Protein backbone atom coordinates (compact mmCIF):
# COMPACT_ATOMS: atom_id res chain seq x y z
CA UNK A 1 0.00 0.00 0.00
CA UNK A 2 1.38 3.43 -0.89
CA UNK A 3 1.88 5.84 2.02
CA UNK A 4 -1.51 7.10 3.13
CA UNK A 5 -2.33 10.69 2.26
CA UNK A 6 -3.22 12.82 5.28
CA UNK A 7 -5.23 16.00 4.70
CA UNK A 8 -5.84 18.27 7.67
CA UNK A 9 -8.57 20.89 7.33
CA UNK A 10 -9.00 23.80 9.76
CA UNK A 11 -12.45 22.72 10.96
CA UNK A 12 -15.33 20.30 10.40
CA UNK A 13 -16.95 22.55 7.80
CA UNK A 14 -13.82 22.69 5.67
CA UNK A 15 -13.37 18.93 6.14
CA UNK A 16 -16.84 18.40 4.70
CA UNK A 17 -16.14 20.66 1.73
CA UNK A 18 -12.75 19.09 1.03
CA UNK A 19 -14.12 15.56 1.34
CA UNK A 20 -17.04 16.40 -0.95
CA UNK A 21 -14.58 17.67 -3.55
CA UNK A 22 -12.48 14.51 -3.30
CA UNK A 23 -15.59 12.34 -3.67
CA UNK A 24 -16.76 14.34 -6.69
CA UNK A 25 -13.30 13.97 -8.25
CA UNK A 26 -13.29 10.22 -7.61
CA UNK A 27 -16.74 9.95 -9.18
CA UNK A 28 -15.73 11.87 -12.29
CA UNK A 29 -12.61 9.75 -12.70
CA UNK A 30 -14.54 6.50 -12.28
CA UNK A 31 -17.28 7.46 -14.72
CA UNK A 32 -14.67 8.53 -17.27
CA UNK A 33 -12.78 5.27 -16.88
CA UNK A 34 -15.61 2.77 -16.40
CA UNK A 35 -18.90 4.53 -16.94
CA UNK A 36 -19.98 3.90 -13.36
CA UNK A 37 -19.02 5.09 -9.86
CA UNK A 38 -19.26 2.54 -7.07
CA UNK A 39 -19.33 4.14 -3.66
CA UNK A 40 -19.78 2.82 -0.12
CA UNK A 41 -20.89 5.43 2.39
CA UNK A 42 -19.75 5.65 6.00
CA UNK A 43 -22.24 5.79 8.82
CA UNK A 44 -22.28 7.62 12.12
CA UNK A 45 -22.58 11.39 12.53
CA UNK A 46 -19.36 12.73 10.99
CA UNK A 47 -20.15 12.16 7.31
CA UNK A 48 -23.53 13.97 7.34
CA UNK A 49 -21.88 17.35 6.70
CA UNK A 50 -19.87 15.85 3.84
CA UNK A 51 -23.01 14.34 2.30
CA UNK A 52 -24.76 17.72 2.57
CA UNK A 53 -21.78 19.40 0.87
CA UNK A 54 -21.86 16.70 -1.79
CA UNK A 55 -25.59 17.26 -2.32
CA UNK A 56 -24.81 20.93 -2.95
CA UNK A 57 -22.48 19.82 -5.74
CA UNK A 58 -25.21 17.69 -7.27
CA UNK A 59 -24.82 19.13 -10.82
CA UNK A 60 -21.19 17.91 -10.83
CA UNK A 61 -22.18 14.39 -9.97
CA UNK A 62 -23.95 12.06 -12.35
CA UNK A 63 -25.81 10.15 -9.68
CA UNK A 64 -27.45 8.03 -12.35
CA UNK A 65 -23.99 6.53 -12.94
CA UNK A 66 -23.48 5.95 -9.23
CA UNK A 67 -24.09 2.71 -7.39
CA UNK A 68 -24.22 3.54 -3.70
CA UNK A 69 -23.93 1.11 -0.79
CA UNK A 70 -23.28 1.56 2.91
CA UNK A 71 -20.11 0.08 4.38
CA UNK A 72 -22.12 -0.89 7.41
CA UNK A 73 -25.63 -0.55 8.71
CA UNK A 74 -27.46 -0.63 11.96
CA UNK A 75 -30.25 -3.23 11.87
CA UNK A 76 -33.06 -0.72 12.24
CA UNK A 77 -35.70 0.41 9.73
CA UNK A 78 -34.37 2.88 7.15
CA UNK A 79 -36.75 5.53 8.53
CA UNK A 80 -35.19 5.13 11.98
CA UNK A 81 -33.00 8.16 12.82
CA UNK A 82 -30.18 5.72 13.66
CA UNK A 83 -30.16 4.26 10.14
CA UNK A 84 -26.95 4.94 8.21
CA UNK A 85 -28.61 4.74 4.81
CA UNK A 86 -31.48 6.84 6.08
CA UNK A 87 -29.04 9.54 7.27
CA UNK A 88 -27.23 9.43 3.92
CA UNK A 89 -30.43 9.78 1.94
CA UNK A 90 -31.75 12.59 4.11
CA UNK A 91 -28.49 14.53 3.84
CA UNK A 92 -27.29 13.43 0.41
CA UNK A 93 -30.21 12.55 -1.80
CA UNK A 94 -32.65 14.65 0.18
CA UNK A 95 -35.07 11.88 -0.58
CA UNK A 96 -36.69 9.47 1.70
CA UNK A 97 -37.31 6.56 1.64
CA UNK A 98 -34.24 5.28 -0.09
CA UNK A 99 -34.22 6.01 -3.84
CA UNK A 100 -33.92 2.46 -5.13
CA UNK A 101 -32.06 1.70 -8.34
CA UNK A 102 -28.89 3.59 -7.45
CA UNK A 103 -28.78 3.21 -3.68
CA UNK A 104 -28.58 -0.34 -2.35
CA UNK A 105 -29.60 -0.48 1.29
CA UNK A 106 -29.03 -3.40 3.62
CA UNK A 107 -32.23 -5.45 4.06
CA UNK A 108 -32.70 -4.53 7.70
CA UNK A 109 -36.01 -6.41 7.68
CA UNK A 110 -34.05 -9.69 7.58
CA UNK A 111 -32.24 -11.36 10.48
CA UNK A 112 -28.62 -10.05 10.56
CA UNK A 113 -26.93 -13.18 9.14
CA UNK A 114 -29.43 -13.32 6.27
CA UNK A 115 -29.11 -9.57 5.70
CA UNK A 116 -25.31 -9.93 5.42
CA UNK A 117 -25.61 -12.79 2.93
CA UNK A 118 -28.24 -10.88 0.95
CA UNK A 119 -26.03 -7.77 0.81
CA UNK A 120 -23.07 -9.79 -0.44
CA UNK A 121 -25.29 -11.27 -3.14
CA UNK A 122 -26.41 -7.76 -4.12
CA UNK A 123 -22.78 -6.70 -4.39
CA UNK A 124 -22.06 -9.65 -6.70
CA UNK A 125 -25.07 -8.80 -8.86
CA UNK A 126 -24.42 -5.06 -9.11
CA UNK A 127 -20.70 -5.52 -9.76
CA UNK A 128 -21.32 -8.49 -12.08
CA UNK A 129 -18.81 -10.74 -10.33
CA UNK A 130 -19.11 -14.31 -9.02
CA UNK A 131 -20.31 -14.36 -5.41
CA UNK A 132 -17.69 -16.93 -4.42
CA UNK A 133 -14.71 -15.03 -5.84
CA UNK A 134 -12.63 -12.18 -4.42
CA UNK A 135 -14.54 -9.12 -3.22
CA UNK A 136 -15.45 -6.46 -5.80
CA UNK A 137 -13.31 -3.33 -6.04
CA UNK A 138 -15.26 -0.25 -5.04
CA UNK A 139 -14.11 2.98 -6.60
CA UNK A 140 -14.39 4.61 -3.17
CA UNK A 141 -15.19 3.41 0.34
CA UNK A 142 -15.76 6.06 3.01
CA UNK A 143 -15.05 5.16 6.63
CA UNK A 144 -15.45 6.74 10.03
CA UNK A 145 -13.35 6.01 13.10
CA UNK A 146 -14.68 5.22 16.53
CA UNK A 147 -12.84 6.26 19.69
CA UNK A 148 -12.22 2.57 20.37
CA UNK A 149 -10.55 2.18 17.00
CA UNK A 150 -13.46 0.48 15.26
CA UNK A 151 -14.36 1.31 11.71
CA UNK A 152 -17.48 0.38 9.80
CA UNK A 153 -18.93 -2.09 12.31
CA UNK A 154 -15.68 -3.98 12.84
CA UNK A 155 -15.30 -3.76 16.59
CA UNK A 156 -12.23 -4.81 18.59
CA UNK A 157 -11.90 -8.55 19.27
CA UNK A 158 -15.06 -9.28 17.31
CA UNK A 159 -15.92 -12.26 15.13
CA UNK A 160 -16.72 -9.80 12.34
CA UNK A 161 -13.14 -8.55 12.47
CA UNK A 162 -11.84 -12.11 12.16
CA UNK A 163 -13.99 -12.90 9.13
CA UNK A 164 -11.66 -13.56 6.21
CA UNK A 165 -13.92 -15.20 3.60
CA UNK A 166 -17.25 -13.38 3.52
CA UNK A 167 -17.50 -9.99 1.85
CA UNK A 168 -20.16 -8.89 4.31
CA UNK A 169 -20.75 -10.10 7.83
CA UNK A 170 -22.69 -9.05 10.91
CA UNK A 171 -22.05 -8.27 14.55
CA UNK A 172 -24.26 -8.41 17.62
CA UNK A 173 -24.92 -5.19 19.55
CA UNK A 174 -21.51 -3.80 20.56
CA UNK A 175 -20.58 -1.74 23.58
CA UNK A 176 -21.06 1.43 21.59
CA UNK A 177 -24.45 3.00 20.92
CA UNK A 178 -26.76 2.25 19.32
CA UNK A 179 -27.15 -1.16 20.95
CA UNK A 180 -28.43 -2.92 17.85
CA UNK A 181 -26.96 -5.66 15.65
CA UNK A 182 -25.07 -4.43 12.59
CA UNK A 183 -24.16 -5.63 9.14
CA UNK A 184 -20.71 -4.63 7.92
CA UNK A 185 -18.22 -4.98 5.10
CA UNK A 186 -15.31 -7.14 6.13
CA UNK A 187 -11.72 -5.93 5.99
CA UNK A 188 -11.26 -7.94 2.80
CA UNK A 189 -13.94 -5.96 1.03
CA UNK A 190 -12.66 -2.64 2.36
CA UNK A 191 -9.08 -3.43 1.35
CA UNK A 192 -10.13 -4.42 -2.18
CA UNK A 193 -11.23 -0.82 -2.91
CA UNK A 194 -9.45 1.41 -5.39
CA UNK A 195 -9.64 4.18 -2.81
CA UNK A 196 -10.49 4.24 0.90
CA UNK A 197 -11.09 7.53 2.69
CA UNK A 198 -11.41 8.08 6.44
CA UNK A 199 -13.41 11.13 7.53
CA UNK A 200 -12.55 12.01 11.13
CA UNK A 201 -13.50 15.13 13.02
CA UNK A 202 -13.23 16.48 16.56
CA UNK A 203 -10.93 16.61 19.54
CA UNK A 204 -12.42 13.40 20.95
CA UNK A 205 -10.81 11.45 18.07
CA UNK A 206 -7.30 12.96 18.45
CA UNK A 207 -6.00 10.13 20.63
CA UNK A 208 -7.29 7.30 18.46
CA UNK A 209 -6.09 9.07 15.29
CA UNK A 210 -2.59 9.19 16.79
CA UNK A 211 -2.83 5.54 17.80
CA UNK A 212 -3.93 4.40 14.36
CA UNK A 213 -1.49 6.60 12.46
CA UNK A 214 1.63 6.25 14.55
CA UNK A 215 1.53 3.29 16.90
CA UNK A 216 2.15 -0.39 16.25
CA UNK A 217 -1.26 -1.30 17.61
CA UNK A 218 -2.58 -4.57 16.27
CA UNK A 219 -5.77 -4.91 14.28
CA UNK A 220 -7.45 -7.08 16.93
CA UNK A 221 -7.41 -4.24 19.43
CA UNK A 222 -7.54 -1.34 16.97
CA UNK A 223 -9.47 -2.57 13.90
CA UNK A 224 -8.84 0.59 11.85
CA UNK A 225 -5.16 -0.36 11.53
CA UNK A 226 -6.38 -3.27 9.41
CA UNK A 227 -7.49 -0.86 6.69
CA UNK A 228 -4.61 -1.29 4.26
CA UNK A 229 -5.90 -1.32 0.66
CA UNK A 230 -4.22 -4.13 -1.28
CA UNK A 231 -3.62 -2.06 -4.39
CA UNK A 232 -5.71 1.03 -3.75
CA UNK A 233 -4.98 4.28 -1.98
CA UNK A 234 -5.81 5.39 1.57
CA UNK A 235 -6.63 8.99 2.43
CA UNK A 236 -7.26 10.49 5.87
CA UNK A 237 -9.35 13.65 5.82
CA UNK A 238 -9.15 15.16 9.29
CA UNK A 239 -9.99 18.44 10.91
CA UNK A 240 -7.35 20.17 13.05
CA UNK A 241 -8.80 19.02 16.39
CA UNK A 242 -8.74 15.38 15.30
CA UNK A 243 -5.20 15.77 13.94
CA UNK A 244 -3.90 17.65 16.99
CA UNK A 245 -1.73 14.83 18.33
CA UNK A 246 -0.17 13.79 15.05
CA UNK A 247 3.60 14.37 15.04
CA UNK A 248 3.44 16.82 12.15
CA UNK A 249 0.01 17.92 11.12
CA UNK A 250 0.37 18.47 7.37
CA UNK A 251 -1.68 21.35 6.08
CA UNK A 252 -4.57 20.71 3.76
Nearest to ligand 6PG of 27, 142 (CB atom)? 142
Neighbour-count burial of 48, counting CB atoms closer than 10 A to its CB (0-12 exposed, 13-18 middle, 19+ buried): middle
Q: Do 136 and 123 touch, CB atoms closer than 8 A?
A: yes
| 83 lies in the binding site for ligand 6PG (CB under 6 A) | no
Q: Which region, judged by CB under 6 A, interacts with ligand 6PG, from 31-39, 50-58, 59-67, 143-151?
A: 143-151
Beta bridge partners of 171: 182
| 152 lies in the binding site for ligand 6PG (CB under 6 A) | yes
Q: What are phi and psi of 106, to 5 degrees?
A: -65, 140
Nearest to ligand 6PG of 71, 232 (CB atom)? 71
Q: Which of 135, 144, 174, 188 binds ligand 6PG (CB under 6 A)?
A: 144
Least distance between ligand 6PG and beta carbon 130 (Å): 27
| 61 lies in the binding site for ligand 6PG (CB under 6 A) | no
Neighbour-count burial of 23, counting CB atoms closer than 10 A to its CB (0-12 exposed, 13-18 middle, 19+ buried): buried
Cα torsion at 89, 96, 118, 180 (round to 10°)? 80
Cα separation, 156 vs 148, whole angstroms = 8
Q: Which of 38, 40, 68, 72 binds ligand 6PG (CB under 6 A)?
A: 72
Q: Which of 86, 112, 146, 229 binds ligand 6PG (CB under 6 A)?
A: 146
Residues at the interface with ligand 6PG (CB under 6 A): 42-46, 72, 74, 84, 144-146, 150-153
Amino acid sequence: MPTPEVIVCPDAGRLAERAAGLIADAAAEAVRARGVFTLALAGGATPAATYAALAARRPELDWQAARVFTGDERMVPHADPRSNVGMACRSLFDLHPVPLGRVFPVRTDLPPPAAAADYAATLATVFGVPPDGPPPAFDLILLGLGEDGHTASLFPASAALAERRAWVTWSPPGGLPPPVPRVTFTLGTINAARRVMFLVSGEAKAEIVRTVRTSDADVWTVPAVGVRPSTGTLTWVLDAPAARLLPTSPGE
